Amino acid sequence: MSDGDATGVDRVVVALDVGGTGMKCALVRPDGVAIHTERHPTDAARGPAAVIGTILDVAEGLADKARADGLAPVAVGIAVPGVVDEARGVAVWSANVGFRDVPLRDLAGARLGLPTALGHDVRVGGLAEARLGAGCGAGHVLFVAIGTGIAAAHVVDGVAALGAHGAAGEIGHIMVRPDGPRCGCGRPGCLEAVASASAVGRRYAELAGGSTDGAVTAAQVAERAAAGEPLAGRVWQEAVEALADGLATGQALFDVATIVLGGGLAQAGDGLLDPLRTALHERMTFHREPRLVAAALGDEAGCLGAALLALDAMGVRDHQERR
Ligand SMILES: [Zn+2]
């Protein structure tokens, strides 16, 4: 396998994963290996124009760094949260970065003079986990990111489904508890209103009443549950049961081989995976049970996925999928 171009210079992709607080950035080889990484604050409070300026500056800086190192930057991949129109390369809407209809693909393409792809952060994270990480070799993968919200990517043979309107994978808005708390989307009882990391912390504080001083994180609830605290155990089990309901619906729709769990809540590891496997098993009737595993790429998944998306757009798929 050669990563070189016609002149023998090694090719790299400039990759950025833009989040609400920080940007993870890298130079990624066509085989999916990051050979240089950088982090920069997003500082979204400056407003979208300033954030866009930083994205373009950082991307250009990475391309310059590649050339200075004797590498050939051949494409740019950018991942952003919110609603993304991948076909048009537009960041349609993002609450935590402040984007509204930003033609980020064309802006970056014009600035760097390189083919550019724009993707949704969870969807490209799923792409990376399916092709390079915990879902490798599974063929049909559902990647579920459980953090402030819950979103998923359905990846089939290394390609993430976009949906007709770019909104596939909104598993966080499956209704699992009709009488449950109201979701940010306006409906009651959505999965992310019951089982996201923020929902778990909120629920614990609500049941503990005045007996907690300040916010309790989902990670702390997980720790307290593991240590045998009854209230934490109850809150954790409620979240597990709701997640199992959501994943069972996902399995009925997609029949995947592997479900990869990422995001903050998945850092509880076996404290989440073990009871969730049991709860999911109880819900399987004729459906085949998926393998349930923790994500392997950590917070680099979005950046690596952005690079894969850019390579895909160029028709380059050099990395070996470990089947
Ligand atoms: Zn909702």
Token code pair at residue 23: 């940007």
pLDDT at 102: 97
For residue 83, the CA-to-ligand 1 centroid distance in Å is: 14
pLDDT at 316: 77
For residue 152, the CA-to-ligand 1 centroid distance in Å is: 14
pLDDT at 1: 43
Tens-digit pLDDT profile for residues 172-205: 999 999 999 999 999 999 999 999 999 999 999 9
CA-based nearest residue to 118, from 152, 82, 79? 79
pLDDT at 2: 47
For residue 186, the CA-to-ligand 1 centroid distance in Å is: 6
Gap between the Cα atoms of 140 and 162, Å rounded:
15
For residue 243, the CA-to-ligand 1 centroid distance in Å is: 14
Tens-digit pLDDT profile for residues 121-134: 999 999 999 999 99
For residue 192, the CA-to-ligand 1 centroid distance in Å is: 7
Cβ neighbours around 207 below 10 Å, total: 14
For residue 183, the CA-to-ligand 1 centroid distance in Å is: 5
Residue whose token pair is 């930057």: 73
Handedness of CA 241, 244, 246, 252 (dihedral sign): negative
Q: What is the CA radius of gyration of the chain?
A: 20
Gap between the Cα atoms of 16 and 76, Å rounded:
8
AA identity, residue 276: L
In the predicted model, residues of the chain with pLDDT beneath 70 are 1-8, 210-214, 318-323
For residue 316, the CA-to-ligand 1 centroid distance in Å is: 37
Residue whose token pair is 């953090």: 147
pLDDT at 215: 82
pLDDT at 166: 84
pLDDT at 7: 60
This prediction has a pTM of 0.92
For residue 133, the CA-to-ligand 1 centroid distance in Å is: 29
